[in-house]
Amino acid sequence: MARGNNGEYNIAKDEEKLEYISIIKRYKERYGFRLYAYCIMDNHIHMLIVVDEIPLEKIMQGIQQVYTQRYNKKYRRTGHVFQQRYKAIVCNKDGYLLHLIKYIHFNPIEAGMTETVDYKWSSHYEYIKNKNELVETDYVLKLISSNKAQAIKGYGEYMKEKMDDIESCEYEITEAQINNPSRVDNENRIELLINKVLKQESIAKGELLQKTKVQRICDIRKAIIILADRGVNNNDLAKKLEISNSVISRIKAGKFKRTEYFERVISEYCKA
């Protein structure tokens, strides 16, 4: 969330909102973050971002600085356009992702700007039309239904329902949770998965972690990455396997050759 300096309406015009969207696109292409929802109001913005290798601070710094430079140049002014620092909340993706998207899309209603969720400057239309122009809708829609038409219909019905009250503490993940129990649980899940696959394939952990292009070892690594569920953090997985985040992301995206051995590792694991 980022707000205009002193509450100023510095994204009020359509051309300014278009400018901000173009900058989001530019940095999304540059840094490869995922965007699940956005809403651009007249004096503040909301974005639901999933970061990977590039930290959120760098992403937001780039977006805010470029908009500030263009805005100041256009109006021949100097100084801050936004309050000095954006506000960021780490959210419980599995439990409240749909609710957070609804919260973002309901912002214009809550502000009295519209009576329905049909607001031009939010990602609502991308979900209704399944466009995937700026927002990645597929992951979210699959949470509703594996059938695309049913998912879009379900999303539309969900957005027609009244916004339920919800306390931020219900979906917020605190620093303590990030640095302690949730992180430990995440690491334990990865460790259990790795050990199970190592035992299944009768190889030592040292073999798995060595820098090698041996197809069998590479296939086992890929299988572990694919078998790791979506709740597993890429950073933790990369550290455990001693490979880069970009490799993790590429494999999760299916950008690799699936050999017969790889398929067998997956199949045997799932049978166990």
Instruction: Identify the pLDDT of residue 228.
Output: 81
Q: 101: helix, coil or strand?
A: helix
Instruction: Identify the pLDDT of residue 126.
Output: 93
CB 149 within 8 A of CB 161: no
Instruction: Identify the pLDDT of residue 176.
Output: 41
What does the longest C-alpha to C-alpha distance in the chain come to? Answer: 68
Sequence spans of domains, the chain: 2-169, 175-271
Q: 40: helix, coil or strand?
A: strand
Does the 2-169 domain belong in CATH 3.30.70.1290? yes
pLDDT > 50? residue 180: no
Q: How confident is the model at residue 192 (pLDDT cuts 50, 70, 90)?
A: confident
Token pair 């569920």 is found at 229
DSSP string, 106-130: THHHHTTS-SSS--TTBTHHHHHHT
The stretch 168-174 carries a mean pLDDT of 49
**pLDDT, the chain, mean:** 84
Q: How confident is the model at residue 129 (pLDDT cuts 50, 70, 90)?
A: confident
pLDDT > 80? residue 229: no
CA atoms within 13 A on the CB side of 208: 25
CA angle 100, 136, 53 (to 5 degrees): 90
pLDDT > 90? residue 168: no
The stretch 194-215 carries a mean pLDDT of 90
CA distance 101 to 88: 15
Instruction: Identify the pLDDT of residue 21.
Output: 95
